[in-house]
Structure 1
Amino acid sequence: MPSATSPDPFGEGLTAATVRICDAVTAVSASNPVVVIDGRSGAGKSSLAARVARAWPLSTPVQLLALDSLYPGWDGLERGADIARENVLRPHGRGLIGIWRRWDWELGEEAEAHAVDPALGLIVEGCGALTLASAALADVTVWVDGPSASRRQRALDRDGDGFRRHWDMWAAQEDAHIMRHEPQRLARVSVLTP
């Protein structure tokens, strides 16, 4: 846990969480482990996933899929998680190439397709990513959360006015996901950011 007097308690917390996740990946003893990172908006999921990808403890590279790339619009949290599970996680678990299409947020439609190699490790991160079904396809499961005011400030600093007008609708979808799937209970690693 970072100290309250640290100049960067958020960064220190993510560094400590990265070590825990990498240790869990190493303990899996697989060449292509799957890490699923879920949590509330602005909690630090994307930053944590990027850190884990950079610190990946295996000799083979890891693939990183951010659900922000495939949610079909601002009301698409559940649908995006379903797409990731069915088109990426299930094929990966069966040793098959997964295919997902990037969502073009400006045009409001699917764009180019991307392949996911089942021989390589995979990190899937995003709100809604962790359910009972996706946990069964993952080797390491992670829940990231933090105080509402801090999360909102980080999210709006990151995404600006584009997110501001959608914050309440998105938070309601997160609430529904948490009530329905209890992702915090499915997580092997829990991370609380300041």
Structure 2
Amino acid sequence: MRQDSLDSPGPLPRLAAEVRAARPSLGPVRLVAVDGHAGSGKTTFAGQLAGALGGAPVLHLDDLATHEEPFAWTARLREQVLAPLGRGEEARYRPYDWHRRTFGPPRPLPAAPVVLLEGVGAGRRAVRPVLARLLWMEVDARTAHGRGRARDGAEQAAFWRGWVPAERRHFASDPSRPFADTLVRPGAAEPAVLSGPGRGGRQLPSP
């Protein structure tokens, strides 16, 4: 085996280096979206990438969605997160409590060099202009939803019956995958990171 292959970094460090080298896309922030079907491993991967980036903050879109509005969180994202980060200021968003069905007290989100945005629809049309990178979890919907149902158990069966058609409608009208810079295939040891269909086709804003 060649020595350079032994010394070469794995896919996560390489991706982290690429993200750090990207131009800021939202004020001083490089906003990176991790999108994909529910159950595709977005939260796990976002945590892994955040670690590879030295502890980059992660915003979970489940904190901005609600029971009644699972996809209608764009206005909250703009007002509570994108606007202050674009000014180089700390954002303060109010996370939704899925048990109490109400929004909780404000939670800080620093204007760090890299901020990860994780959740279904993170790469939607309204958000893409301020993204430095769009990552898509390359797991088909049927497999992802099966994993999600197994993870959540019988208690969430009713939720999944409503979620699956809602997600299907969302991606039919506002797909993310065609614009993804990077495709991520989860693996037992480490994910595979591949060039996405949108690489080179999206103009990033100047810093």
Q: TM-score range by the shorter chain?
A: 0.7 to 0.9
Query: How many angstroms does 1:81 deviate by?
Result: 4.3
2:71 corresponds to: 78
CA RMSD of aligned residues (A): 2.3
Within 2, Cα distance between the matches of 1:112 and 1:122?
A: 21
Specify which of 22, 32, 35 is matched with residue 32 of structure 2. Answer: 35
Please state how far the C-alpha of 1:123 moved relative to its aligned partner.
0.6
Provide the C-alpha distance between the structure 2 equivalents of 1:87 and 1:191, rounded to a whole number of angstroms.
Answer: 28
Helix, strand or coil at the partner of 2:178: helix
- Alpha-carbon separation, structure 1, partners of 2:136 and 2:79: 21
Q: Which ranges in structure 1 are unaligned for 5 or more consecutive residues?
A: 1-14
Q: 2:43 aligns to what?
A: 46
| Normalised TM-score (structure 2) | 0.74
Range that drifts further, 100-109 or 81-90: 81-90
* 2:137 pairs with 1:140: no
Q: Does 1:69 align with 2:63?
A: yes
CA distance in 2, matches of 1:157, 1:87: 33
2:52 to 36, 52, 55: 55
TM-superposition CA deviations, 1:138-157 (whole Å, max 9, x none): 11111114133421232123
Query: Hey, what's the Cα distance between the residues in 2 that align with 1:82 and 1:37?
Result: 19
State the secondary structure of the residue aligned to 1:40. coil
The aligned counterpart of 1:94 is 87
Segments of 5+ residues of structure 2 without an aligned counterpart are 1-9, 188-207
- Alignment partners' CA distance in 2, 1:184 and 1:155: 20
Contact 2:32 2:115 in 1 (8 A): yes
Q: 1:19: how far off?
A: 4.2
Per the TM alignment, residue 118 of structure 1 is displaced from its structure 2 partner at its CA by: 1.8
Shift of residue 32 of structure 1?
3.5
2:153 to 150, 160, 174: 160
Kindly indicate which of the two structures has a greater share of residues assigned to helix: 1
Is the CA contact 2:94–2:104 (under 8 Å) kept in the aligned structure 1? yes
Kindly provide the amino acid, as one letter, of the partner of residue 65 in structure 1. Answer: L
Q: Is the 8 A contact 1:77 1:128 kept in 2?
A: no
Greater Rg, structure 1 or structure 2?
A: 2
When normalised by structure 1's length, the TM-score is 0.78
Superposition deviation, residue 192 in structure 1: 4.0
Whether the 8 Å CA contact 2:36–2:42 is kept in 1: the answer is yes
